[in-house]
Amino acid sequence: MSTTDFIYKIAIETAFAPARGAPSFAGMLVDAMDGYLHFSSAAQLAKTLRLHFAGQSDLVLLAVRSADLGDALIWEASRGGALFLHLYDGPLPSSAIAWEAPLSVAADGSCVLPEAVR
């Protein structure tokens, strides 16, 4: 399956903050436990936020250039057989992050995504 231009990484602000200005971001605790970094496509993002981040207001959304990750980025079956992107080869290089935006998710899982999500 081909990747889209941008994929999205959701992080808790306090987990991502130390990576600002650093060469890479190691990811979240769930990434370390699973052995890869989790990403969502633009089409998957709202559901991922609703299912896994409802009620959290301390989030940052990272837009990542998928081409910068090369062959280390793998589409794999996950939730309901849907294909999700996983990065196995080390941390996320900071140079691959195109932009970041603060993000909050209401208790019911609803949120307003940045206009730049595509």
- Secondary structure element (H or E) that encloses residue 47, with its range: helix 42-52
Does residue 111 fall inside a structural domain? no
| pLDDT reported for residue 2 | 46
Does residue 113 fall inside a structural domain? no
Can you give the residue range of the structural domain that contains 53?
A: 6-103
| pLDDT reported for residue 1 | 43
Confidence band, pLDDT 50/70/90 cuts, at residue 4: confident
- Based on the structure, what is the number of domains in the chain? 1
Does residue 1 fall inside a structural domain? no
Mean pLDDT of 86-107: 95
| pLDDT reported for residue 79 | 67
87 conformational bin, left if phi > 0, alpha if psi -120 to 50, beta if neither:
beta
SS3 (DSSP) at 93: strand
94 contacts: CB under 8 Å, gap ≥ 6: 19, 21, 22, 23, 24, 25
**pLDDT tens string 7-61:** 999 999 999 999 999 999 999 999 999 999 999 999 999 999 999 999 999 999 9
Spatial separation of the C-alpha atoms in residues 45 and 112, rounded to whole Å: 11
pTM to 2 decimals? 0.92
Does residue 31 fall inside a structural domain? yes
Count of all residues that appear for the chain in the document: 118
Mean pLDDT, all residues of the chain: 92
State yes or no: pLDDT of 3 exceeds 80.
no
| pLDDT reported for residue 58 | 95
Give the pairing type, strands 83-87 and 92-93. unpaired
Q: What is the CATH number of the domain that holds 34?
A: 3.20.170.20
Does residue 38 fall inside a structural domain? yes
| pLDDT reported for residue 35 | 93
Q: Are 82 and 44 in contact (CB under 8 A)?
A: yes
